[in-house]
Chains A and B, each alone.
Chain A
Amino acid sequence: MTTEFSRRDMFRFAAVGLGGVAFAGALAGCSGDGSGGSSGGGSGAPTNFSFASWGMSEEATKPTLGAAIDAFAKKKDVKIKTPSYDYNDYLNQMTLQVRGGQFAGAAQLDVAWASGFAALGKLKDLSSVASGRGYTSAALKAGQVDGKQIGLPWTIAAIGLITNTEILEKAKISKPATTIDEFEDQLRSLKGLGGGMIPYAASTKAAQLKDILVWMQTFGSPLIDGKKCTIGDDESVKAVTWYKKLYDDGLIAPDVDRAAARTLFAQGKTAIYDDAPVGKAGVVQSSPDKDLASKMSSMARPVLADGDTPVEVLWGHLVTVVDGDGADTAAQFAQWLTSDEKQTLSYFSKLGLPPTTKKALASSAVADDTFVSDFTKRVTANASAEPLWKFPQYGQMETEIADQVQAVLIGKASPKDAMKAAGEAVQKLMDA
């Protein structure tokens, strides 16, 4: 038996099909982002929301963060969607989604990205949920842009030099260097240990070559002076010349980014690398040395001349809330995640992420952790925000500088020419 269709029949079927699609679309449109939450206005019953993070895409943090999300969802009887992206892609993905109105809810944010993300104009002012929660003033400040509390501080620390005390002792280094000259001498002693030792796993890959900026500051370049980019000045050129010397002498290695540095440190192939305290958990977990945790310490960044104050760069995570469906419950979640004492201390004990409230910081759990308390005293105490962070085009500025520093390292350009080019490129982006 065959069925015969007229063209009119086909039209009818198509019309029914299209109608169905339109109806489904209308239903989907009514349900917002699909989380099923009601509109974000008011402070009524808790609603479903989304929490975007890179933490949920990293093996080291996923179980702990996932448990925290589940606990809040259970407590409030809501569903939390958890879109996650790799750290290096996270900002782009979130920028596109927020700009396109595809995302509403809570979102993890690096403190370095706060200005750019705030420029999208979709972030909720969290001043009301921040007040009375006992955050330290420095932590609260890290989440402010133009006086608006665009994010709640989740963890605040710094990027500092992490050391392996056992390897340092093997190289007969009893006290970490305080000046750059001493530091270089110590790196040479470490190199002398042989066995393919990379004395200092400094970043040389473009993705994390932003680490060079703190060395430029150490050499005396302010990076930004008013509306002028100072990269290209004598100090920044000296910093890059020194970096190139370390590279040529094998004291730092090519092809190293944060992930590679952590791996090298975990394998005992490097004695010093740059990281925030958050890196410790992953390093210890992946190391064949079961006692590595007890050997990990930190040192203040060496200074140019004795008596100078070490320059350290702030590091931290915020939780922001993008206005829209479920935003009110998302704000409550942000508040709970970042300031509930039980939650923040549990997070600290599992991942080593320093909390941001005075009470949690004063607790015995934090105070008794030698690694974190030493890091706080030696590194975080002198940490400040990177001057370039205030520009939304910060990502592109980093790339421009990284490309030029790489050009110096591979011998394609002189430090002077490269830094001049980098400074001009950054200035152009500042003026854009």
Chain B
Amino acid sequence: MTTTDVRPGVHPPQPTADSSGDRGNRGSRLSDKSFIFFLLLPGLVLLLAIVLYPLVRSLVSAFFKESLIYPGMTFVGFDNILDALGDDFAPLLGQTLIFTIGSTVLSFVLGMALALVLNQSFRGRGVLRGAFLIPWLVPGVVVSFLWMWIFDGNYGVLNGVLQQLHLIDHPIAWLFNTDAARGALIIAKSWNSFPWMMVMLLAGLQTVPVELHEAAAMDGAGSIRRFFTVTWPHVRGIAGLVVLLEFIWNFQHFDTIFVLTGGGPAGTTQTFATEVYDTAFKGYDLGHAGALGLLWMVLLMILVVVYVTFSERGEKSATAEKSERAVKKEKTR
């Protein structure tokens, strides 16, 4: 009987030199290639249906005049793209970068600080490690509403507290001031995402050998020096990766901005994500939304290339480090 035992640890029969596709028994057995293809098929179908098709469809829209409500589409070449690259593009890119960089930096600083604290040994560390994860578990939209009530200009919690402390006389319209609204967005997004940074960095910190810290301390290195000479070289790789990933996610972030400021005041917190939404679903202009989406994707692709290069380099240096260590060990023997 020609069955293939798929139990772990039990190896399937090796194909013979002339029968990688089992030509001799084609009616009853599958080739490895077919089997691999069969296993990949559901994933590929899903990928095509929910990722590739919508992506290609929206990119195609960039070259057509197309409405969400009227049927039909007219080819307009690069008109939509040139239009999207007009006067509003630079401010939009700037606003997107302010939000992206601000949220990434703040969540990294918070994440790193907490990871360093929680890497120390103290009572209640486990509870705190769990507690700090809570903001990450709260859905983005809920977080946005939470911060909306905090920053509300008329009956917000922040104004209430500041007035109670006699720090302000009148309520401040935080979300009605460009800088304050940007700050509010950055704070809300960072509050939601710092736990993820913290967990990743904590994992990195736990790979730092304690002996190195002890040796550096014996040599008289203070905690700041130890951080830069012992800790940082070990976590630099993972820190770079999480920062890059967070940057990419923030660059595409939508819900906090949509709920908290809606892109306001006066469109000064509008980012690519909210602008594409407004163009497509308020202006019903799929062509312009597609063009903006195309430009946004090009920028994202650059970031993805940086990420892939960075992670490949990280992998290579890790492999090189490993083999170097192995060589050293061998020499010591």
Cβ-defined partner of B176 (8 Å) among A2, A255, A269, A403: A255
Given A95-B69, A260-B154, A396-B278: A4 in contact with B177 (beta carbons within 8 A): no
B4 to chain A: which residues have CB within 8 Å? 4-7
Quick check: is B153 within 8 A (CB to CB) of the other chain? yes
Cβ-defined partner of A255 (8 Å) among B68, B175, B263, B281: B175
Inter-subunit contact B68/A410 (CB<8 Å):
no
Q: In the docked arrangement, what's the CA distance between A393 and B170, Å?
A: 39
Binary contact readout B149-178 vs A (1 if CB under 8 angstroms, 0 otherwise): 000111100000000000000110101111
Identify the stretch in A65-73, A179-187, A203-211, A292-300 within 8 Å (CB) of chain B at 4 or more residues: A203-211
Inter-subunit contact A396/B69 (CB<8 Å):
no
A260 to chain B: which residues have CB within 8 Å? 152, 154
Given A254-B176, A395-B282, A399-B282: A6 in contact with B2 (beta carbons within 8 A): yes
Inter-subunit contact B266/A412 (CB<8 Å):
yes
Quick check: is B120 within 8 A (CB to CB) of the other chain? no
CB distance from B48 to the nearest CB of A (A): 16
Quick check: is B138 within 8 A (CB to CB) of the other chain? no
Identify the stretch in B28-36, B51-59, B238-246, B309-317 within 8 Å (CB) of chain A at 4 or more residues: B28-36
The dominant DSSP class at the A interface is helix
CB distance from A32 to the nearest CB of B (A): 22
Inter-subunit contact A11/B278 (CB<8 Å):
no
Q: How many residues of A contact B (CB 8 A)?
A: 48
Inter-subunit contact B264/A263 (CB<8 Å):
no
Q: In the docked arrangement, what's the CA distance between A148 and B29, Å?
A: 65
List residues of A (243-270) whose CB comes within 8 Å of B's CBs.
253-256, 260, 263-264, 269
Quick check: is A8 within 8 A (CB to CB) of the other chain? yes
Inter-subunit contact B262/A254 (CB<8 Å):
no
List residues of A (1-29) whose CB comes within 8 Å of B's CBs.
2, 4-8, 10-11, 14
Given A8-B28, A99-B68, A396-B278: A404 in contact with B266 (beta carbons within 8 A): yes
B154 to chain A: which residues have CB within 8 Å? 198, 253, 255-256, 260, 263-264, 269
Quick check: is A406 within 8 A (CB to CB) of the other chain? yes
Q: Which residue of A lies closest to B287 (CB)?
A: A432
Inter-subunit contact B69/A99 (CB<8 Å):
yes
Inter-subunit contact B173/A253 (CB<8 Å):
yes
Q: Which residue of A lies closest to B42 (CB)?
A: A14
Inter-subunit contact B68/A5 (CB<8 Å):
no
Quick check: is A370 within 8 A (CB to CB) of the other chain? no
Q: Which residue of B lies closest to A6 (CB)?
A: B3
Inter-subunit contact B264/A403 (CB<8 Å):
yes
Q: In the docked arrangement, what's the CA distance between A429 and B68, Å?
A: 14
CB distance from A363 to the nearest CB of B (A): 39
B265 to chain A: which residues have CB within 8 Å? 206, 406-407, 409-410
CB distance from B192 to the nearest CB of A (A): 21
Inter-subunit contact A392/B284 (CB<8 Å):
yes
List residues of A (359-398) whose CB comes within 8 Å of B's CBs.
392-393, 395-396, 398
Q: In the docked arrangement, what's the CA distance between A263 and B149, Å?
A: 13
B173 to chain A: which residues have CB within 8 Å? 253-255
Most buried by B among A14, A120, A403: A403
For the complex of A and B, the 7 pairs showing the least CB-CB separation, nearest first, are A396-B283, A255-B153, A254-B173, A254-B176, A407-B266, A406-B266, A395-B282
17 A/B residue pairs, CB under 8 Å, sorted by A: A2-B7, A4-B4, A5-B3, A95-B281, A96-B281, A116-B284, A205-B262, A206-B262, A255-B153, A255-B173, A263-B154, A263-B155, A264-B154, A403-B263, A409-B265, A412-B268, A413-B266
**Chain A interface residues (CB < 8 Å from chain B):** 2, 4-8, 10-11, 14, 92, 95-96, 99, 116, 119-121, 196, 198, 204-207, 253-256, 260, 263-264, 269, 392-393, 395-396, 398-399, 402-404, 406-407, 409-410, 412-413, 429, 432
